[in-house]
Amino acid sequence: MDAIAETAESNVDVLIIGAGPAGLMAAAWMAHCGVKARIIDKRNTKIMCGQADGLQCRSLEIFDSLGFADRAWKEAHHMIEICMWNPGTDGVIRRGDRVPDTIVGLSRFQQIVLHQGRIERFFLDNIKKYSGDSIQVERCVLPESLEIDESKVDDEAAYPVTVKLRMLKEEEATPQQQISGSTVTDGLFRSNLIQEDDEDDLIRKSKARAGASEIVHAKYVIGCDGARSWTRRALGFELKGEATDFIWGVMDIFPITDFPDIRMRCVVHSANSGSLMIIPRENGLVRLYIQLKEVTPDASGRADKSKITPDVIFSAAKTILSPYKIDHEYCDWWTGYQIGQRTGTHFDAHGRVFLAGDAVHTHSPKAGQGMNVSMQDAYNLGWKVALVAKGVCRREILNTYQSERRRVAQELIEFDHKISRLFSGRPAKDVTDAEGVNMEEFKKDMFLKGNLFASGLSINYGPSSLVVKPGDAAELGDGSAKSASLAVPSPITVDEFSKKQALATGLPVGMRFNSFKVLNQSDARPWHFQERLKADGRFRVVLFAGAILSVAQKHRVDAFCAALDAPGSFLRRATPPGQQVDSVVEVLTIHSSKRTDTELLRDFPDMLHPFDKYKGWDYDKVFVDDVSYHEGFGDAYTNYGVDKEHGCVVAVRPDQYVGWVGDLEDFEGLQRYFEGCLVLRDGTVPENGAKAEMVH
């Protein structure tokens, strides 16, 4: 026996279980925030081909905040147009319509496609860069037990979660991605289309430990371990929902075809043979999603997977695409699935163990949502856990995770339910054919409304300590008791809120901070403003300073900055002694006067461009809404709906969501916002921030 007897024991702030995109996103936050964390995965390698691959606009904005959107953008296939093919009255398929794949003007990014392995690679490189190697994925590691010491869950200093880990031998850790009957050998290890991705070193380390056990005491655990989540089962939580009757096959091939739109995203509804979706990919690959009408669920509702083979799938594709011909010499990956739509009942236990990604929602892959929503779960959760673990944020904010993200999961399932039916249904023969799918309705729901939802940009979080808006926290959250209980430290009436929101109509409170180009006041370089909202764990106050060269407006700005600079201000009280004034909350300014008439040092209070005795003044915090030489005019004030004379103030969460909008004179409102979510020094308990009970 090669089992090792000794059992090591250690503490860690955050333990992440699962190193797919959601787990890696959580780990990236820990790296960017400087939190002590570990990330384990039972597999012995990352994904090499196949799997999820669509990246929506919001995911790219998030990648940009971490620093690697450019790598994805460069390598990916760009999805520009969707073509809809429907049967004519003769039953022959024809191109019926074209729509842009991404709604024009929605984001500075558009939807792209790149296989999951490359995305995991970007995460791994990014985590390495920011953590200095201190966070590395530990592969071939299996969690065996998880216990929460409930007596300690409210103790900030405690490590209330105990997880026992076992180091696997290599043969135990080799994933089986393949379904029987394929002539293509296991897709995980054989693609020659992608760059080599050598993890020999990690695997060698794993081998050395094989058989050993370890006890980890963690402040927080994040379970990102997929649809069959071990963490979820260890907590006794469930996914609720059901499987549909629709069975689909997927293949990644080099297509040899005369179908004219093979490099477009296509939805093909054949008259009677089912539907097919084409997703063109990087390197000339094309993914086909193919409805398998011949394979049907048995009495128990489950499909017999042994009936799904590459031949069955491809022959269905040929029939659907007929009279066009399609063939292939090379298949990179294939699989089959039955659409199941399920949501987790609970997203956390005691505010100490959290679930994200497929562990709490499963649905069909065709809207390209799976990896995106999973990563976005972890993007929502990661900074909250990191900042609470660091003592920067109040523990109450952790309750917003379920409230914000379970609602998204619910909407996702609803969306998926609708489009699955539209996808898998038979096209209507004419207007009287009520059982068939009306193609106009399909276009409207799937691509016009659907693309907005699918972009990830329609998300609007409900009221909480992080989002100051009116309304019922449960109703605008996930409807759970946890959501209902959210402490809203600054309750606000609909009228009050309307006045505030009117100051920045293009920045709805609860939605992500949209991006327009502005220029650095000091060097005239154009930036998409979102590029300045980096994922470094800092909250931001964006001061729309208005017409700074007007004397009256300058007085307003001076007064606002004086309040910021006062000893009792949230900014002073949130900043740990000895740290830079911008270490917890960064103040960024956008003004609307003419750039060339304005000077940073002369026209703006010091607070807006802090001095450092080593590096001098900070020239990277004040921007101007003016015309650039080479990149046009962002017209940011107009696009953000902010008055060019009077401006306003916006509080932005570390994940780029708008938390609060107010006037320059409403410093008290801003102060209350931060009192509700930040831990402020001087021992003062903020007035409206009475400690909420964690609800489980």
| Interface positions with a copy of itself (CB under 8 A) | 70, 74, 77-78, 80-81, 98, 100, 102, 104, 110, 254-258, 260, 262-264, 280, 284, 329-330, 520, 522-525, 596, 599-602, 613-617, 619, 628-630
Write the single-letter amino acid at 242: E
The dihedral built from the CA positions of residue 55, 57, 59 and 62, taken in this order, carries a sign that is: positive
Spatial CA neighbour of 345 closest among 305, 404, 292, 402: 402
The dihedral built from the CA positions of residue 417, 421, 422 and 423, taken in this order, carries a sign that is: positive
Smallest distance from the beta carbon of 305 to a copy of itself, in angstroms?
Answer: 30
Smallest distance from the beta carbon of 252 to a copy of itself, in angstroms?
Answer: 13
53 is catalytic: yes
- For a copy of itself, give the closer residue by CB, 150 or 606: 606
- For a copy of itself, give the closer residue by CB, 204 or 614: 614
Name the E strands within 93-208: 93-100, 112-113, 137-139, 141-148, 161-167
- For a copy of itself, give the closer residue by CB, 380 or 514: 514
Name the E strands within 560-631: 585-591, 611-612, 616-617, 622-624
100 is catalytic: no
Residue showing tokens 């461009």: 609
Smallest distance from the beta carbon of 192 to a copy of itself, in angstroms?
Answer: 12
Smallest distance from the beta carbon of 623 to a copy of itself, in angstroms?
Answer: 13
Cβ proximity of 588 and 540 under 8 Å: yes
Show the tokens assigned to 589.
């300014």
Write down the catalytic residue from 289, 637, 657, 673.
289
Write down the catalytic residue from 21, 41, 43, 53.
53
What pairing do the DSSP bridges indicate for beta strands 348-349 and 622-624?
unpaired
Write down the catalytic residue from 87, 255, 310, 365.
365
Task: Say how many CA atoms lie within 13 Å of 507 toward its Cβ.
Answer: 34
Write the single-letter amino acid at 116: Q
- What is the rounded distance in angstroms from the CA atom of residue 565 to the CA atom of residue 545? 16
Smallest distance from the beta carbon of 206 to a copy of itself, in angstroms?
Answer: 24
Smallest distance from the beta carbon of 447 to a copy of itself, in angstroms?
Answer: 13
377 is catalytic: no
Spatial CA neighbour of 55 closest among 120, 105, 113: 113
Sequence-distant (≥ 6) Cβ neighbours of residue 150 within 8 angstroms: 160, 350
For the chain, what is the radius of gyration of the CA atoms? 26
Show the tokens assigned to 420.
């699955």
Write down the catalytic residue from 281, 352, 407, 532.
281
Residue 690 CB neighbours (<10 A): 10
Show the tokens assigned to 453.
């939802």
- For a copy of itself, give the closer residue by CB, 187 or 669: 187
Show the tokens assigned to 574.
């949130």
- What is the rounded distance in angstroms from the CA atom of residue 491 to the CA atom of residue 501? 15
Kindly tell me the burial class for residue 685, based on how many C-beta atoms sit within 10 Å of its own C-beta (0-12, 13-18, 19 or more): exposed
- For a copy of itself, give the closer residue by CB, 482 or 528: 528
Smallest distance from the beta carbon of 332 to a copy of itself, in angstroms?
Answer: 12
Smallest distance from the beta carbon of 107 to a copy of itself, in angstroms?
Answer: 9
Three-point CA angle 13, 15, 17, nearest 5°: 170
- What is the rounded distance in angstroms from the CA atom of residue 595 to the CA atom of residue 495? 36
Smallest distance from the beta carbon of 577 to a copy of itself, in angstroms?
Answer: 22
289 is catalytic: yes
Q: How many helices (H) and strands (E) does the chain have?
A: 19, 28
- For a copy of itself, give the closer residue by CB, 280 or 382: 280
Task: Looking at 590-654, list the stretches that DSSP marks H as alpha helix, in order from N- to C-terminal side.
Answer: 600-603, 636-640
Spatial CA neighbour of 624 closest among 615, 637, 641: 637
- For a copy of itself, give the closer residue by CB, 1 or 629: 629
- For a copy of itself, give the closer residue by CB, 197 or 411: 197
- For a copy of itself, give the closer residue by CB, 520 or 553: 520
- For a copy of itself, give the closer residue by CB, 149 or 197: 197
Spatial CA neighbour of 58 closest among 120, 121, 109, 119: 109
Cα 231 to its chain centre, rounded Å, is: 20
- Residues involved in catalysis: 53, 281, 289, 365
